[in-house]
Amino acid sequence: MARIVFKFGGTSVSDVAHVRRVATRVVKAFRAGDEAAVVVSAMAGTTDQLDHWTREIGGMMDAREYDTVVAAGEQITAGLMALALQSEGLMARSWLGWQLPIETDDAHARARIRHIHAAEIEDRLARREIPVLAGFQGIASTGRITTLGRGGSDTSAVAIAAALNADRCDIYTDVEGVFTADPRIVPSARRIERIAYEEMVELASLGARVLETRAVEMAMRNGVSVQVRSSFHDTPGTLLVDEDEIMEQDVVTGVTYSRDEAKLTLTGVHDKPGVSASIFGPLAAEGVNVDMIVQSGSHGGERINYTFTVVERDMERAVRAIEDARNEIGFDSIVADANVAKVSIVGLGMRTRPGVAQTMFATLAERGINLQVISTSELKISVLIDETATEEAVRALHAAYGLDSA
Ligand code: ASP
Ligand code: MG
């Protein structure tokens, strides 16, 4: 007997027929003797609609009311899922975040889970009931409903699995698992059977949309065994495991990309101590996250250039913050360019094998793809390129590292 947390969301619960269909997976496991808890997110498109309505009425003036609105989608699917399970003859009931409760901090619209009171759920499991929990939401110490930030229900599921000490957290989605690259771009991409948490954190944060980065980090910290599986096909999916559970590491595990990047270039900056702080301080104060950074120029001269990247929606705000700090920084011009993409290779195997970066650079050079910025860490290399070359770059790298399926 295993204790399993099932997570369904989006397209897996897009209408009543889908809710019924995925519920049969829970029923099957339950009838086989497993304990099951279910975490749901909203029906596909629902949260977008709720979010849109708050913007229409005047935006995020009061984030507490924003949360009240956008948390509503999960209430619907939680109730429907409980009804679907009941119609199969099982005992099931829904739980909203405040009912457990799932305690969070009071950072509305991006709250962090502090504590989950799971005793009642434990009790219900022992009585062979199936608790259905609304993902994405919690309650602040103020008593107000909070949400965890868009896509946050994966984090809810992992947190609940950790609190229940579950044997597994199965996250059902519309793809068959984690792939070596986006199969829409690389038809020869393969499903990865087992991937190390660390690699998955990188893939998720560098653009792979299959799991939320925060959820993966939480799973890694708490040793939650996460499996990504398809709602629509009965295939094995991808298992997240500790590094030492992977016998032979490939050099590169996956290639990923993000088009949601913008490049800012600051020219003619006075080269003096403290200048970096004078640039990035105002950006931090504006809440703009800076990703890749290069500083260049100056052969004995006193002027240098800075190039750095931010997510596209922060681009205008970043330019304004820099313009406002012009006097403190001292520079000639600032140019922003959203026509860039970040392409990354990820793999724990690259730590121990030389020449990995060289293969990447040579592969892209052969295709005339210019590298505008490079950044590396122990287990990833990212390059910033012209956005129009994204697909060609991903395909070429996938082949170059031997990831194409035979
Ligand atoms: N329903 C929420 C959203 O669309 C949470 C989630 O789907 O993970 O962002
Ligand atoms: Mg999601």
Which of 11, 14, 41, 154 to mutate for ligand 1's pocket (most ligand atoms within 8 Å of CB)?
41
Question: What average pLDDT does the segment 76-94 reach?
Answer: 98
CA of 61 to the centre of ligand 1 (A): 21
Using the predicted structure, report yes or no on whether residue 375 has a pLDDT greater than 90. Answer: yes
Q: How confident is the model at residue 254 (pLDDT cuts 50, 70, 90)?
A: very high
| Model confidence at 329: pLDDT above 70 | yes
Q: How many CB atoms lie within 10 A of CB 278?
A: 18
Q: How far is the CA of 38 from the centre of ligand 2 (A)?
A: 15
Q: Which residue lies with its CA nearest to atom 5 of ligand 1? A: 151
> Does the residue 146 lie in any domain?
yes
Residue nearest (by alpha carbon) to ligand 1 atom 9 = 150
Number of domains in the chain: 2
Q: Are residues 18 and 160 in the same domain?
A: yes
How far does the centroid of ligand 2 lie from the alpha carbon of residue 211, in Å?
Answer: 7
Check whether residue 165 and residue 266 sit in a common domain.
no
Q: Which atom of ligand 1 is nearest to the CA of 154?
A: 8
Residue 217 counted as domain residue: no
Q: Radius of gyration (Cα) for the chain, nearest Å?
A: 23
Contact call for residues 388 and 370 (beta carbons, < 8 A): no
Let me know whether 254 and 381 are in one domain.
yes
pLDDT of residue 242: 94
Confidence band, pLDDT 50/70/90 cuts, at residue 272: confident
Q: What is the mean pLDDT of residues 231-260?
A: 91
**Same-domain check for residues 290 and 160:** no
User: 271 pLDDT band (50/70/90 cuts)?
Assistant: confident
Whether the CB of 73 sits within 6 Å of ligand 1: yes
Q: Mean pLDDT for the chain? A: 95
Residues 373 and 292 in one domain: yes
Is the shortest distance between the CB of 155 and ligand 1 below 6 Å?
no
Q: Which ligand 1 atom is at minimum distance from the Cα of 47?
A: 4
Q: Are residues 385 and 280 both part of a single domain? A: yes
Domain boundary among the residues 115, 142, 174 is at 174
Order the strands of the 238-241 sheet from edge to edge: 91-95, 129-134, 35-43, 3-10, 168-173, 226-230, 238-241, 194-196
Mutate to test the pocket of ligand 1, among 7, 136, 172 (most ligand atoms within 8 A of CB): 136
Say yes or no: 257 and 361 in one domain.
yes
SS3 assignment for 161-207 = HHHCCCCEEEEEECCCCCECCCCCCCCCCCECCEEEHHHHHHHHHCC
- pTM of structure: 0.91
The residue range of the domain holding 118 is 3-174
pLDDT at position 382? 97
153 CB less than 6 Å from ligand 1? yes
Q: Is 41 in the pocket of ligand 1 (CB under 6 A)?
A: yes
Residue 237 inside a domain? The answer is no
pLDDT for position 208: 86
Burial annotation 235-261 (CB, 10 A radius, 16+ → b, else e): eebbbbbeeeebeebbbbbbbbbbeeb
pLDDT at 300: 67
In a domain, residue 221? The reply is no
Tell me, yes or no, whether 194 lies in a domain.
no
Ligand 1 atom closest to 74 (CA): 1
CA of 282 to the centre of ligand 1 (A): 31
Position 229 in a domain: no
Tens digit of each residue's pLDDT (9 = 90 or more) over 122-172: 999 999 999 999 999 999 999 999 999 999 999 999 999 999 999 999 999
The H or E element that residue 309 is part of is strand 303-310
Q: Which among 207, 190, 251 is positioned nearest to 382, based on CA atoms?
A: 207
Judge whether residue 60 has pLDDT over 80: no
pLDDT at 209: 85
Task: Determine whether the shortest distance from the Cβ of 151 to ligand 1 is under 6 A.
Answer: yes
Residues 248 and 165 occupy one common structural domain: no
CA of 164 to the centre of ligand 1 (A): 22
Q: Which atom of ligand 1 is nearest to the CA of 212?
A: 8
When pLDDT is cut at 50, 70 and 90, the band that residue 340 belongs to is very high
- Integer Cα distance of 292 and 376 in angstroms: 9
Residue 169 within a domain: yes
Could you tell me the distance, in angstroms and rounded to a whole number, from the CA of residue 174 to the centre of ligand 1? 14
130 and 37 in contact (C-beta within 8 Å)? yes
Q: Is residue 47 part of a domain?
A: yes
Verify whether ligand 1 is closer than 6 Å to residue 215 (CB atom). no
Pocket test residue of 137, 150, 212 for ligand 1, highest count of atoms within 8 A of CB: 150
Q: Ligand 2: distance of its center to the CA of 388 in Å?
A: 27
Please say which residue of 174, 189, 210 terminates a domain: 174
Residues 123 and 20 placed together within one structural domain of the fold: yes
The CATH number covering residue 37 comes to 3.40.1160.10
- Measured from the alpha carbon of residue 76, the closest ligand is 1
Q: Are residues 32 and 129 in the same domain?
A: yes
Binning pLDDT at 50, 70 and 90, where does residue 207 land? confident
| Ligand 1 contact via 307 beta carbon (within 6 Å) | no
- The pLDDT of 260-288, averaged and rounded, is 93
Protein residue closest via CA to atom 7 of ligand 1: 151
Percent of the chain with pLDDT over 70: 99
pLDDT at 299 over 80: no
CA–centroid distance, 367 to ligand 2, in Å, is: 35
The percent of residues in the chain predicted with pLDDT above 90, rounded, is: 89
**Confidence grade of residue 386 (pLDDT, cut at 50, 70, 90):** very high
- 20 and 146 inside one domain: yes
CATH code at position 322: 3.30.2130.10
Q: Is 39 found in the same domain as 165?
A: yes
Spatial separation of the C-alpha atoms in residues 95 and 195, rounded to whole Å: 32
pLDDT in tens, 238-250: 999 999 888 777 8
79 has a pLDDT exceeding 90? yes
pLDDT of 246 reads 86
Mean pLDDT across 48-64: 91
CA-proximal residue: ligand 1, atom 6 (nearest): 151
